[in-house]
Amino acid sequence: MPDLSGINKMTKEIKRSDGRRVNELREMKAKVGVVPNADGSAMFAFGNTVAIAAVYGPRQLHPQHMQDPSRGILRCNYDLLSFSVYDRKRPGPSRRSQEISKVTEWALQPAVDLSAFPNNVVDVQIYILQADAGTRTAGINAASMALAHAGIPMRDLVCSVALGKNDKTLIVDLTKEEEDFSEGEGATDFAIAKLGNTDEFSLMQMDGKIQPELVNEVLRLGKEACDEILEAQKKALKESVESEEEK
């Protein structure tokens, strides 16, 4: 096992352009029940990155040839709204949004139990209202909360965060500025998702390069960040239940 003490020390001491420590998340905001007409919905934000998710179903899946008689299926759709980025995005789906939609399904599937809903589909619509990097991870966090809010049977909540490396420094929850870092060894973006109360990862996706000996340290930082994200998710869901009980 390589000596990571220097990296751990660096993680605690070096600050970034926005003043955060390298293992510090941006301010998180989480809320459920943001789309009244959906069966379940949620908002999750990392700083200036804001995602909303709405769940519809279970409902019968059409066309019939796509149905699974043994269980329901999960279907996710992710998209950036045109005004969410500085350079206006062209409306409609793109290859990137299609890829992230599928990645989101893979990240959420281990937590969702649809065995009681054969031939049905649960649709999750994810929209990014503001984008400052970390959009797929914010979308996964919002979708997990929305599924729980909709009463879909779940093993656990799913927590997601982007980690990375600017030159030789490991960092947690990258901003767009950090994603575009080009000095030295450049930037690395390592998105993870895990079931909140376990060590089971449901997503590991990397753009860039990272030394193999640093992967364990990246995952350790990711687990610590996901613990914080899980608490924010649970707090939002608890506040929603308490609000309903007061009515």
**Residue 220 within any structural domain of the chain:** yes
The C-alpha atoms of residue 32 and residue 5 are separated, in whole angstroms, by 40
Task: Sort 237 into a burial class: Cβ within 10 Å, 0-12 / 13-18 / 19+.
Answer: buried
**Residue 94 within any structural domain of the chain:** yes
What is residue 128's predicted lDDT score, i.e. its pLDDT? 95
Residue 199's domain spans which residues? Answer: 5-241
Number of domains in the chain: 1
**Residue 141 within any structural domain of the chain:** yes
Adjacent-strand bridge partners of 161: 192
**Residue 247 within any structural domain of the chain:** no
Q: Which residue has the higher pLDDT, 10 or 231?
A: 231
**Residue 142 within any structural domain of the chain:** yes
**Residue 184 within any structural domain of the chain:** yes
Average pLDDT of 130-151? 97
**Residue 165 within any structural domain of the chain:** yes
For the CA atoms of 44, 239, 223, 192, the dihedral, rounded to the nearest 10 degrees, stands at -30
The CATH number given to whatever domain includes residue 215 is 3.30.230.70
**Residue 123 within any structural domain of the chain:** yes
pLDDT in tens, 219-244: 999 999 999 999 999 999 999 988 87
